[in-house]
Amino acid sequence: MNTLRYALFCLDSTHIDGCEGFARKLIEEHGLSILSVGDVADYLNKKDIPNIQVNMMLDGVSQRLFSCVTTLSSMIHAGLLANREQIRSFDLSDLCQIDLAYVTLNETELRNERNRVGRTLESCRRLIDVQGPALLHSTVHAGKIAVSSLQWEKMALEALHGDVGAHSRLNHCAMTAVSGYYQEIDRVYLTFFQNKESL
pLDDT by residue (tens digit) across 144-182? 999 999 999 999 999 999 999 999 999 999 999 999 888
Choose among 159, 145, 156, 132: nearest CA to 98.
Answer: 145
- Residue 158: in which H helix or E strand, if any? helix 153-160
End-to-end CA distance of the chain: 65
Question: What pTM did the predictor assign?
Answer: 0.83
CA distance 11 to 184: 18
Contact 100, 136 (CB under 8 A): no
Q: What is the pLDDT of residue 97?
A: 82
How many Cβ atoms from other residues are within 10 Å of residue 102's Cβ? 27
Choose among 93, 79, 69: nearest CA to 35.
Answer: 79
Contact 11, 79 (CB under 8 A): no
Q: Per-10-residue mean pLDDT for the chain, 199 residues long?
A: 75 89 95 90 94 71 48 68 63 70 83 69 74 88 92 94 95 93 85 68
What domains can be seen in the chain, in order of their start residue?
A: 5-198 (3.40.50.1380)
